[in-house]
Amino acid sequence: MIAQMDNPPPREKRALGFKPLYGQVRDILVARLIEGVWKPGDPLPSEFQLAEELGVSQGTMRKALDELVGRNLLVRRQGRGTFVARHDQQRALFHFFKLEPNDRSRRLPTSQVLGVATGTADNAEREALSLDAGVKVIRVERLRFFEGKAIVRERISLPRAIFAGIEEREALPNTLYALYALDYGVTVAEAREELRAVAAGPEDARDLGLAPGTPLLEIRRVAVALDGRPVELRVSRCDTGHCRYVADLR
């Protein structure tokens, strides 16, 4: 059993505080993912084992697992098992990357870091990342390329309290979210993006090889970790002469 063991009424189902069993099971599984009991790529115990451990039926465990698969936190492979999702698998890669080159090929761009710096969070960063005044952030500026052509200029802000030492690494990988998960225990679970059209500034123009004032697509993304903390602010300015932002509404 789960929480009910402490309380005499074995199935607490009040009008307001009702929480289904599979929801409690799901929360327990999420907590284990946050704690790092299972790491990216690890297999979970079988559905039957998990169900027996938590004292629920396989059907209930299945429903809990289903929800986590739906949130892209787990991956099922028939005949093999259920695994913790990784941020560097083809399927998951494009979940947080919606730019597509105009030739419709689906590739990830390469990256070139322009600079890494540490500073005090400005107002925008404090609001986006829920930081107190005076807190330090790490800022990464980089360019991203499709087929050797610079398409995106990107500024990434990270709380130093979470990503301490990341500013001293010799190199940063192209897929940062896999790095966050493996080296900092931070699983990016969701993100909110706000898009605007802006005019290219002098630096945008220089780095992207455009005239100043050229319209650029600005993507402002706040990434949220499994535990609900906002962990990254990323502002990308994209030359939509060579790519476009694609969204499927279903």
Partner DNA sequence: TAGTGGTCTAGACCACCAC
Partner DNA sequence: TGGTGGTCTAGACCACTAA
Site residues for a second copy per CB under 8 A:
71-72, 95-96, 98, 189-199, 213, 215-218, 238, 240, 244-250
Query: Which of these, 162, 150, 114, 180, lies nearest to 242 by C-alpha position?
Result: 150
Of the residues 36, 59, 119, 209, which one makes contact with DNA according to CB under 7 A: 59
| Residue 142 phi, psi (nearest 5) | -150, 160
Q: What is the bridge-based pairing of β-strands 215-225 and 230-238?
A: antiparallel
Q: Does 48 bind DNA (CB under 7 A)?
A: yes
Residue 250 per-residue DSSP state: -
Residue 189 CA to residue 47 CA, distance in Å, equals: 23
Q: Does 217 bind DNA (CB under 7 A)?
A: no
Of the residues 22, 163, 177, 180, which one makes contact with DNA according to CB under 7 A: 22
Q: What is the bridge-based pairing of β-strands 110-120 and 136-146?
A: antiparallel
Q: Which helix (H) or strand (E) holds 222?
A: strand 215-225
191 binds, among DNA, a second copy, none (CB under 5 to 8 A by kind): a second copy
Q: Can you tell me which residue has the tokens 């500034």?
A: 201
23 binds, among a second copy, DNA, none (CB under 5 to 8 A by kind): DNA
Q: Does 202 bind DNA (CB under 7 A)?
A: no
194 binds, among DNA, a second copy, none (CB under 5 to 8 A by kind): a second copy
196 binds, among DNA, a second copy, none (CB under 5 to 8 A by kind): a second copy
Nearer to a second copy, 196 or 229 (CB): 196
216 binds, among DNA, a second copy, none (CB under 5 to 8 A by kind): a second copy
What type of residue sits at position 166? Answer: I
Q: How far is the CB of 62 from DNA (least distance, A)?
A: 6
Nearer to DNA, 20 or 209 (CB): 20
Nearer to a second copy, 25 or 73 (CB): 73
Stretch that binds DNA, among 19-27, 94-102, 192-200, 219-227 (CB under 7 A): 19-27
Residue 148 CA to residue 154 CA, distance in Å, equals: 16
Query: Which of these, 25, 84, 27, 31, lies nearest to 58 by C-alpha position?
Result: 25
Residue 38 CA to residue 24 CA, distance in Å, equals: 18
Residue 135 CA to residue 120 CA, distance in Å, equals: 6
Of the residues 8, 80, 104, 148, which one makes contact with DNA according to CB under 7 A: 80
Q: Can you tell me which residue has the tokens 């279903």?
A: 250
Stretch that binds DNA, among 56-64, 133-141, 164-172, 198-206 (CB under 7 A): 56-64
